[in-house]
């Protein structure tokens, strides 16, 4: 006899499908970078660096507009006083 699927079974299948689709997207993204880099990279190190950075996306103009006004080291003093 065929037993109907429970809600847990459906959730598990949906979760597995989502992870499989994401793995497939990652594979093809890396593969596209490899196919491009195989002809244009000047050394193996450059090829490996491009493949390692395949998951990164380029910055957009809005990313530069949202810069923080704080410096990298917010605890550093901007000016030294004469007392020190």
pLDDT digits (tens, 9 = 90+) for 16-63: 999 999 999 999 999 999 999 999 999 999 999 999 999 888 888 887
- Which residue blocks in 1-84 are alpha helix, DSSP H? 7-40, 44-52, 61-65
Is this model's pTM higher than 0.85 or not?
no
Residue 74 has pLDDT above 90, yes or no: no
Q: Which residue has the tokens 């499989």?
A: 20
| Rg (alpha carbons) of the chain, rounded to whole number | 24
- Mean pLDDT across the stretch 3-22? 94
């Amino acid at each position: 006899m065929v037993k109907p699927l429970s809600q847990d079974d459906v959730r598990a299948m949906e979760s597995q499908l989502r992870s499989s689709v994401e793995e497939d997207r990652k594979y093809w993204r890396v593969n596209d970078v490899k196919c491009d880099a195989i002809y244009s990279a000047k050394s193996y190190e450059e090829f490996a660096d491009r493949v390692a950075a395949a998951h990164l996306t380029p910055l957009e103009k809005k990313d530069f507009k949202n810069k923080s006004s704080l410096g990298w080291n917010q605890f550093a003093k901007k000016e030294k006083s004469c007392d020190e």
